[in-house]
Chains A and B, each alone.
Chain A
Amino acid sequence: MREQILALLSQYGSPVLFGATAIASIGLPLPVTLLLIVTGSLVAQGVMPLWTAIALATAGSVIGDQIGYAIGRWGGARLVSRFAAVLGGPQKIALAEAHARRWEGLGVFLSRWLVTPLGSVVNLTSGIADYPWRRFVVWDVLGEALGAALYINLGRVFSDRVLALDQALGDFSWMILGLLGTLILGRALWPYIRAKL
């Protein structure tokens, strides 16, 4: 899947960028960060204009996010549970819920570009929790635009090192997720630790 999507992006550019970002935001496991980095490299090669690339990636991602939110809010229990299983199961949903509760709108914003493994799950949990749609849209658009601009520009700057950059960013993103998990667990366990001391 990863190779096919990259081959299509490399050959056809803009329409594939739009479609792939939308599908990835709904929750299909596509290598969206690598897609954006490769897009940046294509921008550096003069294949695609920078602003068009950022606009298409943002629009695609926002549309995908809205679908995820709509499933959470109006999809009903059966569809939600099926979709949650596709997105990574109860543990990932619980982590995303903790993230969303702790950070609210900022949680939506951060999961668009910094804690990206949680993005699709936060869409779903925001819908389930009836997080106000207008606020969700505002944070979503801001976060996706920042994410698209950030990763496409990184790809543009490191246009001859896209695979190494993707691996570094992938590990960085998981490191942030590990740090987030440590903070959430640490906070939950702190009363017990303090009682023992």
Chain B
Amino acid sequence: MNTLFQNRTEPEEGEHAVIEEPHAGGDSARGIHVFARLRRRMQTCSAAAGEDGQHGHGMLCALPFGVLMLFGFIVPLLCVIAFGLMPSHTFSLLHHMPTLENYRVIFTQSYVFSMMKSTVLAILTVFLLLLICYPLAFALAKVFRGGATFVTYAIASSLFVSENIRLFGWVIGLMKGGVLGGLLAKMGLPVDSFLYNVPVILVGMVYVYLPFMLFPLALGLQMVPQEVREAAYDMGANRWQVFRMIDLPLSLPGIMIGSILVFVLSIGALAEAKILGGQKIVTIAAEIETAFTFGQNWPLGSALATLLIALTMVLVFGALKKVDFESLLGRKAEGQS
């Protein structure tokens, strides 16, 4: 305390001399006053940031990640946006005038429909996953004890197997003469292939993105304090009322994170529609890939990608603002803020 006080008074006198030179009388007195206040404000600021130079340490530690993001994420995205403004079938960002021609093509041709189809598929996936995962997440967070760990590992380990291997499992299961078809045929129900239609694409998406919904939901439900639920039951609330007025609002962060995550991942989904859907549905990601490979039209692909980026970013920024990730990651509520 003592040193802090000395620090504050000493420089103040030093400044006194500097400021008094050009000005005269009351004007300089006010200047000194303002300066002293500013200095005090700065000192309380740095005291709040931690006296051992936490600010500097934090900046330094964030540096490697920041550099990676700058050159591996932000600049490449700017690159996509810039390419989307180039005339079609060009492969360089230089020597061309920017144009909005690609966007005109997108909005006057069938690309709009691909965009809509992808959006609808993504919304359906989110909706189905909420229905499927909520009871399971509830069981993980509130009902199971040892079993929860087992279910968690059983589902999490699937994340580490390439999604196209797992989707290929569905192909073998659902193709003509495959596992399901063969079993049904044995029981006297000969069926043709289950593959290559819209519901099966949906099955694939629900399957692949299930962990991304389940774990945020379980995290969110874990944050619902048991005492609050018990109090509600004691006061005579029924199960539906507890769900609607306690579980649902208090686990909303988890629900939002899961939904946004699944939506964003499934709107950019490529493999599901290709492997399970044949060419029945052309998703926006498939259109982008075609523009880059067969179409050899980078600017068109980039413009499509830009629209996709814009859509996801609006959603993500809107939702993330409302969620406190620190408490989700297990920060203790008191103390550090």
Partners in one complex: no
Binding site for B on A (CB under 8 A): none
- Hey, which bits of chain B sit against chain A, CB under 8 A? none
